[in-house]
Structures are given as structure tokens and as C-alpha cells.
Structure 1
Amino acid sequence: MPKTYLSLTLAAAWLASPLAHADGVDRALDAFHATCLAHGPDFERTATLAKTRGWTPLVDGAALAPVDAMKAFRGWQVTGDDLPAGTMVAVTRATMDGRSVQTCSLKLFDVDRAEFEKRFFHRTDAEKIGEERKGRQVSRLFILIAGNRKQLVHLTSPAVRSTANAIIASSIVDD
């Protein structure tokens, strides 16, 4: 009898724990926050982090960049348990509306995009300032304060729910 009681008590404690409810969406949000939002995009810091952690450089990952007028691009396929499986990370130095900016992007796979966006709003003070549909993708632009900096956040995902659940989450800050 005491074994059964202990087992039920442990099971109830586990279900009440936030760890029991952590899933791929929470892990994806944590990865985006730690890599891009907490300190804002930082080209050199991210390149150093990638080298330290042994991430595999991307040959071409320009599609990860949220800004077209790039001056410099570095991208990596994440290896190890640092971030969710298959994650790609990219940083750029670019020009946007005549200003120098830095960007940091994560491409995350097997993430429910609607749930990602819902939890993103729950965790931040983001305000939606735009939306664009282009072909099979929808891009949403938000503004928020994170890492003591005003940041633009650009979320890009498939427009149709039946396509693969992948999302590109990017942060953009003035350089």
C-alpha cells in the first residue's frame, strides 16, 4: 500500500510540475530567446558561440535572413543537444530602410507555428505591426523590448497548416 501511495504522489507531483508540460514549442521559444532575443542579435558573439559548440557551417542559408540587403552572412546547422534537433541559426549584418542592422534567425522544425506564436505573445510584450502573405508563406512582424533593446521580430511560416511545421524566427536591431 505505501508503494502505491508513493507512486501516485510522485505521479501527481510530476503532472503539476511545469516540466511535465514543456514540449517542442517551449524548447523552440527558449532557444529563440537565448540565441537571439536575450542579448539582441550579435554577429560576433553568435559566430564565437557556433565555433565553440562545433556547429556545422551552412553553405547557403540566405533564405534564413529576414532582410534582403545583406552585407555579411553566417549560418550554421546546429549539432549536439544545444537546441532542438535540426535547428539552423543565421546572423547577418544588413541595411534596412537606410539603417545598418544586425539580424539573428533560427529555423525550427516540427514546431506548431500557431502554438509558437500564441506562447510568444504570452511570454513577451510583442505588438504585431504587420503581416504579409507571399506564395506559400506568411510573415508577421512584431515590435518588442528584449535585452534592453527595441527589437523587430519577424516570424515566417507556411501559410497552409498541412505543410511541414517549420518556422523561421528572426530578431532585427539597429547596429
Structure 2
Amino acid sequence: MTSKCRITYCLSTAILLTGFAGVAGADQPDPFGQFNERCLVRGPDFQRTVTAAKDRDWPALATDMATSLAPVEDPVALEGWNLTAEGDGSFEALVVARASVGDSQVESCTMAFAEIDAAAFERRLVDETHAQASGAKNGQGRVRKFLEASSSERRKAITVDLPLYPNGHDEVIVSVVSEQQIEN
């Protein structure tokens, strides 16, 4: 199954599953704020995220859905959670993975959202990260944009999958990948 098809399938399936008891709430940051907090500020951190999920008792995301949302192929470790708030009609998922890319060990953090404003999300992503565009790939009804951002600690590759024609009630998948940080 192609990535484009996997993404559409996953979000469509996920929207049907929004009856899960959720963990998000009115006090949660907006979608970009959540992605920024959970994935971007310190970069992907597989172990930190797994620990937070266990501490907060987040419900697991189906393995096939987590796999389809991961931006890395053949992950050596993969975990995902459904963060959908009960009864709000939206969808939110978080997936973290570890993989080998060439000689490097990388970690990724992905969030998927439904029923958000894709244009506003993209503007904040670019404005707040000062990310530089490094390419784009159009699909049927969707565009995948590739960005690069750097902090003093590490370089980050960001991918954001958006509708070609956002309408304010959109599906967005955003990932960040960077080299694994080893704590000494």
C-alpha cells in the first residue's frame, strides 16, 4: 500500500474510532502547540514519550495504524497512542519510532489530527520553527511538504502532509525525524 493510501486509510479509520476514551481536554494546547510540545521543542525522544504515555495511561493505537503513520521504514521500535478527546468529534494520534537510516540511528515523532485548520497549522509550523522548505510531493488531493529546521542541539527533518485545498476542517499529519540523542 502506498504512503498516500496508507495515510488516507489511517485517518479515515481513525475518525471512525473517535469513540475511544480520550486523553486530550479543553486545557490542552492547540494542535500545533501539542506537536511542538510533544515532538518538536526537544526533538523526538522515544523513551521520554513512551514513559509519558505509560504515566498518563494513553490508549494504544493499532499497530498497523502506528506503522502507517511512522515516517521511517522498518522501525526497530514503534509505539503509538490515540489521544482523541471523548465526544469532541476530532481525531488525534501520536506515534514514535526508532530506526536506522544509513549509518545513523534516528528517532521520529508523528502526530495526526483531523478536523483542524491545516493552513493555520502550516503557518505556525513555518513561523515558529523558521523551517526551510526542502521539497514537496503532490498526491491526489494532498501535498507532502518537506522542511528542515535546526536548533543548537540538533537538525530536524520535518514532513507535513496537508490537503491541497484546506477548508478549516482538515486532516494533517506532521512528523519530525532527527538523530537519536544518547544520554551520558
Tell me, yes or no, whether TM beats 0.5: yes
Residue 35, structure 1, aligned to residue 24, structure 2: no
1:173 equivalent in structure 2: 178
1:74 equivalent in structure 2: 79
Q: Give the direction of change, closer, same or farther, for the CA distance of 1:63–1:136 in structure 2 (3 Å limit).
A: farther
Q: Under a length normalisation based on structure 2, what TM-score does the superposition of the two structures give?
A: 0.71
- TM-aligned CA deviation for residue 160 of structure 1: 4.3
- TM-aligned CA deviation for residue 78 of structure 1: 1.4
- TM-aligned CA deviation for residue 146 of structure 1: 3.9
CA distance in 2, matches of 1:163, 1:121: 18
* Identity of matched residues, %: 28
Superposed counterparts of 1:83-94, under 5 Å: 86-94=91-99
Amino acid at match of 2:33: D
Computed over aligned residues only, the root mean square deviation of the Cα atoms, in angstroms, reads 2.4
Amino acid at match of 1:53: R
How many residues align? The count is 148
Superposed counterparts of 1:8-47, under 5 Å: 27-47=30-50
Structure 1's unaligned 5+ residue stretches are: 1-25
Q: After superposition, what is the alpha-carbon deviation per residue over 1:28-85, rounded to whole angstroms, capped at 9, x for unaligned? A: 111011000111101110000011111101122212111223222100011569xx95
1:4 equivalent in structure 2: none
1:114 paired residue among 115, 119, 127:
119
Q: Is the 8 A contact 2:118 2:170 kept in 1?
A: yes
2:163 paired residue among 132, 138, 158:
158
Q: Is the 8 A contact 1:39 1:147 kept in 2?
A: no
Q: Equivalent residue of 1:119, what SS? A: helix
Q: Is the 8 A contact 1:69 1:96 kept in 2?
A: no
Superposed counterparts of 1:52-67, under 5 Å: 52-60=55-63, 61-67=66-72
- TM-aligned CA deviation for residue 149 of structure 1: 1.7
Q: After superposition, what is the alpha-carbon deviation per residue over 1:92-148, rounded to whole angstroms, capped at 9, x for unaligned? A: 011334532100001112112122111222212100101112344321111112473
Mean alpha-carbon deviation: is it higher for 57-66 or for 133-142? 133-142
